[in-house]
């Protein structure tokens, strides 16, 4: 989901560069639901070419559908080996296709960047658009949120006493397979209490099905003024909820990418994943990471268990201090603990 939401940054630039064009979006289920009613697109295409069954048949269906649409220009914002092969075959059969923009030089791409020495969030697509002459304007991702959803969130906020600027939003989860990305219930509960004691009026917690127990435990341990909204918002509804927060703290999770579309100050706590690559796009986003020897391991298990050194090294005091600066409850300049890196 993070990749899909991040790509919307560049979709806005493509729309701005081609304001009168008929633009179709190709994505995968279930992420096509993120774009329901989105005025940027005339059509949403979602063929499961990565499914466990019928991959070859799905790939043929995808190529037939794309070929039949007679596109003039295609932007490949993923540029996997699969998309490269499929687009290569489509290009052979599509004389009207003027350009194919991708991340990697060589066929089938007519416009692609050279790789820079140091990656940054979204750098592949950023440089691909620049190579194609598309001006970079958008500062962060953008998801369409219906008025019905905005009204529902407004009602939810009124119900729990959440007013614009009076709460901090916490994103304490991640999918089960990525549990090493979690800062942990204890850290978030202590953070919630510390923020409340320092003058933050409310703490709101959101999460998905994989985080039900964690969110409930944080709310219980956090005490009065800590509100568990797990399961009470759809994915797009995270955006208006985040828009009202004075700041947001979360793990490296898809929800953080969605929340980043609000443009509010966001701190992402990283350990096993590289902040230069996974941090949501935007100058309003910062990431914290331990400076130890095993960072960016991308492992599913940890050699340091039960300590989980990279996440344990990020102190509650450092995160709380950042949040209080964003909420205007601390003066001066925020600085991270010396053993942490800030991105």
Locate the domains of the chain by residue range: 2-131, 147-342
CA dihedral 69, 71, 75, 80 (to 10 degrees): 50
Write the pLDDT tens digit of every residue in 233-287.
999 999 999 999 999 999 999 999 999 999 999 999 999 899 999 999 999 999 9
Which element (helix H / strand E) includes 316? helix 316-326
pLDDT reported for residue 306: 59
Q: With beta carbons less than 8 A apart as the criterion, state whether 229 and 152 touch.
A: no
Contact partners, residue 85, CB within 8 Å, separation at least 6: none
Measured from the Cβ of residue 84, the count of other Cβ atoms closer than 10 Å reads 19
What's the pLDDT score for residue 295? 85
pLDDT at res. 83 = 93
CA distances from 98 to 64, 71, 166 (A): 18, 8, 51
Report which of 83, 1, 33 is spatially closest to residue 261, judged by C-alpha positions. Answer: 1
% of the chain with per-residue pLDDT over 70: 99
**Which pLDDT score is estimated for 42?**
96
Residues with Cβ < 8 Å from 117, sequence gap 6 or more?
none
Measured CA to CA, the distance from residue 175 to residue 40 in angstroms comes to 29
Q: What string of pLDDT tens digits covers the 343 residues of the chain? A: 889 999 999 999 999 999 999 999 999 999 999 999 999 999 999 998 987 678 889 999 999 999 999 999 999 998 899 999 999 999 999 999 999 999 999 999 999 998 777 888 999 999 999 999 999 999 999 999 999 999 999 999 999 999 999 999 999 988 777 778 899 999 999 999 999 999 999 999 999 999 999 999 999 999 999 999 999 999 999 999 999 999 999 999 999 999 999 999 999 999 989 999 999 999 999 999 998 888 888 887 787 665 678 888 999 999 999 999 999 999 999 999 889 999 9
* Whole-number Å distance between alpha carbons of 42 and 71: 13
**How far apart (Å, rounded) are the C-alpha atoms in residues 271 and 101?**
33
Of 317, 45, 1, which is closest to residue 325 (Cα–Cα)? 317
The three-state secondary structure class of 70 is coil
Quick check: 58 and 49 in contact, CB under 8 A? yes
Q: How far is CA 216 from CA 8, 184, 205, 292, 321, in A?
A: 32, 13, 9, 31, 24
Return the exposure string of 109-140: e unless at least 16 CB atoms fall within 10 Å of the residue's CB, then b: bbbbbeeeeeeebbbbbbbbbebbebebebeb
Smallest CA-to-CA distance from 122 within 259, 12, 278, 289 is with 278
Q: What is the pLDDT of residue 300?
A: 77
pLDDT at 198: 97
Can you tell me whether residue 157 is helix, strand or coil?
helix
pLDDT digits (tens, 9 = 90+) for 102-126: 999 999 999 999 877 788 899 999 9
Give yes or no on whether 2-131 and 147-342 have one common fold. Answer: yes
- Look at residues 269, 92, 296, 307 and name the one whose alpha carbon lies nearest to residue 182: 269
Q: What is the pLDDT of residue 175?
A: 79
Domain range 2-131, its CATH number among 3.40.50.2000, 2.120.10.30, 3.40.50.12160, 3.10.580.10: 3.40.50.2000
CA 56 to chain centroid:
30
Query: Is residue 251 classed exposed, middle or buried when 0-12, 13-18 and 19+ CB atoms within 10 A define those classes?
Result: buried
Q: Which of 275, 323, 335, 295 is nearest to 2 (CA)?
A: 275
d(CA 21, CA 331): 48
Q: In CATH terms, is domain 147-342 a member of 3.40.50.2000?
A: yes
**From CA 43, how far away is CA 41, in angstroms rounded?**
5
- Closest by CA position to 240, among listed 204, 276, 202: 204
pLDDT of residue 305: 64
């Amino acid at each position: 989901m993070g990749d899909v939401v991040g790509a919307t940054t560049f979709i806005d630039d493509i729309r701005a560069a081609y304001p009168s064009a008929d633009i179709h979006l190709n994505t995968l289920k279930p992420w096509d639901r993120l774009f329901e009613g989105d005025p940027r697109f005339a059509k949403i295409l979602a063929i499961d070419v990565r499914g466990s069954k019928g991959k070859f048949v799905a790939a043929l269906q995808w190529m037939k559908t794309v070929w039949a649409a007679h596109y003039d220009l295609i932007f490949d914002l993923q540029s996997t080996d699969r998309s490269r092969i499929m687009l290569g075959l489509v290009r052979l059969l599509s004389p009207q296709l003027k350009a194919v923009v991708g991340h990697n030089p060589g066929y089938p791409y007519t416009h692609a960047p050279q790789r820079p020495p140091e990656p940054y969030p979204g750098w592949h697509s950023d440089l691909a658009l620049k190579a194609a002459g598309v001006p970079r304007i958008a500062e962060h991702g953008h998801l369409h949120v219906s008025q019905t959803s905005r009204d529902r969130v407004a009602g939810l906020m009124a119900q729990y006493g959440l007013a614009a600027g009076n709460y901090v939003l916490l994103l304490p989860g991640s999918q089960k397979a990525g549990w090493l990305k979690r800062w942990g219930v204890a850290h978030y509960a202590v953070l919630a209490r510390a923020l409340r004691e320092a003058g933050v009026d409310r703490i709101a917690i959101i999460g998905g099905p994989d985080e039900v127990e964690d969110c409930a435990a944080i709310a219980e341990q956090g005490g009065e003024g800590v509100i568990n909204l797990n399961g009470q918002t759809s994915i797009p509804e995270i955006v208006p909820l985040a828009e009202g927060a004075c700041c947001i703290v979360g793990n490296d999770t898809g929800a953080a990418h969605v929340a980043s579309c609000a443009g509010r100050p966001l701190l992402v706590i990283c350990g096993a994943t590289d902040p230069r690559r996974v941090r949501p796009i935007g100058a309003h986003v910062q990431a914290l990471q331990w400076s130890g020897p095993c960072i960016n391991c991308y492992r599913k298990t940890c050699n340091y268990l039960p300590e989980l050194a990279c996440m344990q090294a990020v102190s509650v005091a450092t995160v709380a201090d950042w949040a209080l600066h964003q909420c205007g409850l601390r003066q001066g300049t925020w600085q991270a603990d010396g053993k942490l890196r800030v991105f």
